């Protein structure tokens, strides 16, 4: 029987036992009271480990001798002892003399600790005050307040599953279609076409690949869901009247590169919509990354910050939507609707004049930047602009708005606006957008350190001023937000023609696929319109996962007693975790919840944070603040110097940036890769679709730019497929990625390879028409029923998908058309470029898509730019048109018996032409204005070709007498 009150040793499982002198329970460490027996402690000391296994406090040898080898942990009571403990933290920075005192203790850490102590005291005082106030409030009033508290405690969102009447038939049809496919392929494989064996083999191979691609795309849609948020409950819980606002701060990231291709006015509208967002001013910070180091971007932001002093109060006073001035003033709607203030019309007209004058100033800056001076640009004070060489310049940071004393015209505080241009030097790999985003992570952590980050492209403005509150309904919900790494909003676009000729809106992806993924482990990250949990970007695992498993080993003893397990220290546990891909997170957040500041400092030293996060003590300290924030006593000048340090081009050398933390490098589609790594660690994401679209952007709507955009996405998928992060083999160790989610990620990286069988299948109809062969033998009754069942299952699946998703049939058809257009053009080039990069090391660069259209409405839609990407679909179109003409000519030549086989061949050829019809319109130029000369030449060439084809008649042999007689009869010779 175990003695009551005597703890069990955490190493060997035996009783700790009693001390020799006083008969009390043996205590190995008086600092943390970690229960370990004397035998295990003696062994640990013999092995050379003289510190506590839990808190790493060193044992006092003098204390050991005086207590007959009883181990007692020393207490750091004196200032000197405290300094010894502090020196175990290995902080390195570029300005160590400014961050460490004479004893080696980090000054920044002291500030953080004192700040936390003050914060804890404030919380205790507030809680005492709340208790006293509750005691003074009469019972009747307390009863009245209970319903309000109950409302605040309710969940901030709820899941709305798709009705069973819609989703159940959809699932049944998917299973039926899968069964029909099995019978179909059994028939196709067992019934080859002997007279056209190569064509039959190619067609069967293509059909099998299409079926595999359909499975990858369809099964992640198995359990789609919708979500609903409750903004009133969010306010009731975190914005109580008379109390400080408890909403979490948010750092906005806006990235831009080339102001000539990404006009400053568009970027400025995005920034203005952020500064005017419906969120507490002190909780919003906007960081603009100028990765081109352009003085034009810098000066336009200076103008924008000045205009924001007038625009922000106007937006909040009249609650206008959207809060991007360019898109607000160009809206075609009744702007007096729901505006009851008499002064609204007058102020709106005045604000519109202010905006027009602001546009004139920005456009003047753009016109001035068209011609670069020989000596480079100079700033207003006469000093040279540091970014005159965009590939070789120092890091630059400028705080325009915020706590610097700049207020709006009504005297209210404005959100912080920060211009950032990271350092660029020759010989360094800068990793394009992913590297710029990682630089913003570090800068924002030093200056504001908000727990949540929202990244936007420069052309995506805030269309719904309450979008951040929508995201907070998930991230700040204690039940929902514990394991959420990001909240993804759908992308919506302006400036696209009503018919959406090139499927720029991507309705099927955003309204069908993403809803399906939300029912599994969450949507994929699409690069913009995403609110991140900063801790997830740092590579941490979610707090609700189990702690790192600590394995034990036994050692032998001369007395052959029960072998106590040797517990590994934290460093060894961390190294074991690093060996697994899925445990690449620094450590589980749950492991440090019960540690105080001193114990965390020891943990930092053992985890070697400098090798992971880089040599910045300020940034490393910020990573441990799960709720964000910076000390009130921080010196702004010191923070700016440290911010400049963390955006240096060499800061990421020999660190985990881009490998395990931040935006992940290795692909031009860093968004897919970054989200995939997070979900492999156990995080999940959430898809938020408010009634009013949260963000809107501009899309490249002409054919050439659209195909180059698709080429970039497909190339990134091929790069991921050829990397170590391929979902086919990466991340199986931890089992944290669900199988349907892995299937969805596999689909995102293998879809470009569908271009090869798709091109072959699109050419097959023309080849059949030209040669008189066919890929399908003469159909029996059973085969006819099988083919009919397959076509019906395809149609019913599409109809049911449209029903539960709510999208229109036109959007679905445009998506199908551009799937073929992109597959036979951009996807094909992406596959070849990806393999060239892997085998020959040829890195292909892509051109940044132009964000601005010409003056006329949809003028860019009809702009034709010839590129090599257009060659394959053009060739397929010509070949199929020639095949149709040849097929009809042959049928006319042979008579009625040839019309039956012709029907099947022409059907497949028309299938190809219909899918490529938007591409054909793009080649023709302006809408509904096909050039007359093109029509005339087409008719003439078709007529001449038909006559020549009838004369030659290549389907019969010239040595066949009967054929020659038949020819003479046909020609009346």
> Which secondary structure element, helix H or strand E, spans residue 892, and what is its range?
helix 871-894
515: nearest Cα among 679, 686, 713, 739? 686
Please tell me the distance from the alpha carbon of residue 778 to that of residue 741, in angstroms, as a whole number. 42
Are β-strands 492-494 and 484-488 bridged in parallel, bridged antiparallel, or unpaired?
unpaired
Please tell me the distance from the alpha carbon of residue 629 to that of residue 450, in angstroms, as a whole number. 6
The DSSP secondary structure of 646-708, one letter per residue, reads HT-TTTTTTSSBTTTBSSPPSSS-HHHHHHHHHHHTT-EEEE---SS-SEEEE---SHHHHHH
- CA distances to 285, 438, 534 from 238, rounded to whole Å, are 19, 30, 20
Burial class (CB in 10 A: 0-12, 13-18, 19+), 509: middle
Residues in Cβ contact with 341 at an 8 Å cutoff, skipping those fewer than 6 apart:
317, 318
Residues in Cβ contact with 772 at an 8 Å cutoff, skipping those fewer than 6 apart:
890, 955
According to the 3-state scheme, what is the secondary structure of 339-383? Answer: CCCCCHHHHHHHHHHHHHHHHHHHHHHHHHCCCCCCCCCECCCCC
Chain length of the chain: 973
Kindly calculate the radius of gyration of the chain based on its CA atoms and give it in whole angstroms: 34
Burial class (CB in 10 A: 0-12, 13-18, 19+), 839: exposed
Residues in Cβ contact with 836 at an 8 Å cutoff, skipping those fewer than 6 apart:
842, 844
Residues in Cβ contact with 16 at an 8 Å cutoff, skipping those fewer than 6 apart:
6, 7, 8, 9, 25, 26, 35, 36, 37, 38
Within the chain, how many helices (H) and strands (E) appear?
35, 15
Backbone angles phi, psi at 614, to 5 degrees: 100, 170
The reply to whether omega before 83 is within 30° of 0 (cis) is: no
Are β-strands 492-494 and 225-229 bridged in parallel, bridged antiparallel, or unpaired?
unpaired
Please tell me the distance from the alpha carbon of residue 230 to that of residue 152, in angstroms, as a whole number. 11
Neighbouring CB atoms inside 10 A of 128's CB total 10
Please tell me the distance from the alpha carbon of residue 675 to that of residue 527, in angstroms, as a whole number. 9
Please tell me the distance from the alpha carbon of residue 89 to that of residue 86, in angstroms, as a whole number. 6
Please tell me the distance from the alpha carbon of residue 579 to that of residue 789, in angstroms, as a whole number. 51
Backbone angles phi, psi at 130, to 5 degrees: -65, -40
| DSSP tag of 494 | E
* Catalytic residue ranges: 291, 671
29: nearest Cα among 2, 4, 10? 10
Backbone angles phi, psi at 481, to 5 degrees: -85, 0
């Amino acid at each position: 029987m175990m003695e009551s009150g005597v703890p069990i040793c955490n190493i060997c499982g035996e009783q700790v036992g009693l001390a020799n002198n006083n008969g009390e329970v043996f205590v190995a460490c008086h600092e943390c009271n970690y229960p370990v027996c004397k035998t295990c402690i003696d062994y640990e000391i013999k092995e050379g480990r003289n510190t506590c296994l839990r808190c790493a406090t060193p044992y006092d040898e003098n204390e050991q001798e005086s207590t007959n080898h009883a181990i007692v942990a020393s207490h750091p009571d004196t200032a000197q002892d405290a300094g010894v403990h502090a020196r175990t933290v290995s902080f390195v920075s570029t300005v160590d003399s400014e961050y460490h005192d004479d004893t080696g203790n980090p000054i920044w850490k002291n500030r953080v600790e004192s700040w936390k102590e003050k914060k804890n005291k404030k919380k205790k005082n507030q809680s005492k005050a709340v208790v006293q106030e509750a005691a003074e409030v009469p019972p009747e009033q307390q009863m009245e307040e209970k319903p309000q508290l109950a409302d605040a405690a309710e969940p901030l969102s709820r899941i709305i599953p798709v009705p069973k009447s819609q989703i159940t038939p959809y699932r049944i049809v998917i299973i039926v279609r899968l069964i029909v496919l099995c019978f179909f392929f059994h028939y196709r494989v067992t019934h080859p076409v002997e007279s056209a064996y190569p064509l039959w083999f190619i067609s069967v191979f293509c059909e099998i690949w299409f079926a595999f691609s359909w499975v990858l795309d369809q099964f992640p849609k198995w359990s789609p869901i919708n979500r609903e948020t409750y903004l009133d409950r969010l306010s009731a819980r975190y914005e109580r009247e008379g109390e400080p606002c408890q909403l979490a701060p948010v750092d906005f990231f806006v990235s831009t590169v080339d102001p000539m291709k990404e006009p400053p006015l568009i970027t400025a509208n995005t920034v203005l919509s952020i500064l005017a967002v419906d969120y507490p001013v002190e909780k919003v910070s906007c960081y603009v990354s100028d990765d081109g180091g352009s003085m034009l971007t810098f000066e336009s932001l200076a103008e924008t910050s000045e205009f924001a002093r007038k625009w922000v109060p106007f937006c909040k006073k009249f609650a206008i939507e959207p809060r991007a001035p360019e898109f607000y003033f160009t809206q075609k709607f009744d702007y007096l609707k729901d505006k009851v203030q008499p002064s609204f019309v007058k102020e709106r007209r005045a604000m519109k004049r202010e905006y027009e004058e602001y546009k004139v100033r920005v456009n003047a800056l753009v016109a001035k930047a068209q011609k670069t001076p020989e000596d480079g640009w100079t700033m207003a004070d006469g000093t040279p602009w540091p970014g005159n060489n965009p590939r070789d310049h120092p890091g630059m940071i400028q705080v325009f708005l915020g706590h610097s004393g700049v207020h709006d015209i009504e005297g209210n505080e404005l959100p912080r606006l920060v211009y950032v241009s990271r350092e660029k030097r020759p010989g360094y790999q800068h990793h394009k957008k992913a590297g710029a985003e990682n630089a913003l992570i570090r800068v924002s952590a030093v200056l504001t350190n908000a727990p949540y980050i929202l990244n936007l492209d420069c052309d995506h403005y805030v269309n719904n001023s309450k979008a951040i509150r929508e995201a907070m309904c998930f991230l700040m919900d204690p039940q929902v937000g514990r394991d959420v790494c990001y909240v993804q909003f759908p992308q919506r676009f302006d400036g696209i023609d009503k018919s959406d000729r090139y499927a720029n809106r991507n309705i099927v992806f955003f309204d069908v696929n993403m809803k399906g993924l939300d029912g599994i482990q969450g949507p994929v990250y699409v690069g913009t319109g995403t609110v991140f949990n900063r801790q997830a970007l740092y590579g941490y695992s979610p707090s609700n996962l189990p702690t790192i498993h600590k394995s034990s080993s036994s050692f032998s003893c001369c007395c052959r007693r029960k072998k106590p397990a040797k517990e590994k220290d934290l460093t060894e546990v961390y190294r074991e975790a690093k060996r697994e891909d899925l445990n690449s997170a620094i450590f589980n957040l749950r492991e440090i919840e019960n540690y105080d500041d001193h114990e965390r400092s020891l943990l930092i030293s053992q985890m070697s944070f400098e090798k992971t996060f880089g040599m910045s003590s300020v940034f490393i300290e910020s990573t441990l603040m799960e709720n964000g924030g910076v000390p009130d006593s921080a010196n702004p000048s010191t923070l700016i110097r440290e911010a400049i340090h963390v955006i240096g081009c060499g800061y990421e050398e020999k660190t985990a940036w881009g490998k395990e933390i931040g935006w992940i490098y290795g692909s031009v589609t860093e968004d897919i890769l970054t989200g995939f790594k997070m979900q492999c660690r156990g995080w999940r994401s959430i898809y938020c679709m408010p009634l009013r679209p949260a963000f809107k952007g501009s899309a490249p709507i002409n054919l050439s730019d659209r195909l180059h955009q698709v080429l970039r996405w497909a190339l990134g998928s091929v790069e991921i497929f050829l990397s170590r992060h391929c979902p086919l083999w990466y991340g199986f160790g931890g089992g944290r990625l669900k199988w349907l989610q892995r299937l969805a990620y596999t689909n995102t990286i293998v879809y470009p390879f569908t271009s090869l069988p798709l091109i072959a299948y699109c050419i097959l109809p023309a080849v059949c028409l030209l040669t008189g062969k066919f890929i399908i033998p003469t159909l029996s009754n059973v085969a006819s029923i099988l083919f009919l069942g397959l076509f019906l299952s395809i149609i019913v699946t599409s109809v049911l998908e449209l029903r539960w998703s709510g999208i229109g049939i036109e959007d679905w058809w445009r998506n199908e058309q551009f799937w073929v257009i992109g597959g036979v053009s951009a996807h094909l080039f992406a596959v070849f470029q990806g393999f060239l990069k892997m085998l020959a090391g040829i890195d292909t660069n892509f051109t940044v898509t132009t964000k601005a259209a010409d003056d006329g409405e949809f003028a860019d839609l009809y702009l034709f730019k010839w590129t090599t990407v257009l060659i394959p679909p053009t060739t397929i179109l010509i070949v199929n048109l020639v095949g149709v003409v040849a097929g009809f000519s042959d049928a006319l030549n042979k008579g009625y018996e040839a019309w039956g086989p012709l029907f099947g061949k022409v059907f497949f050829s028309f299938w190809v032409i219909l899918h490529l019809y938007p591409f054909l319109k793009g080649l023709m130029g302006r809408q509904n204005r096909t050039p007359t000369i093109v029509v005339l030449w087409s008719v003439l060439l078709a007529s001449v070709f038909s006559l020549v084809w009838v004369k030659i008649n290549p389907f019969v042999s010239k040595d066949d007498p009967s054929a020659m007689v038949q020819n003479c009869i046909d020609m009346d010779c």
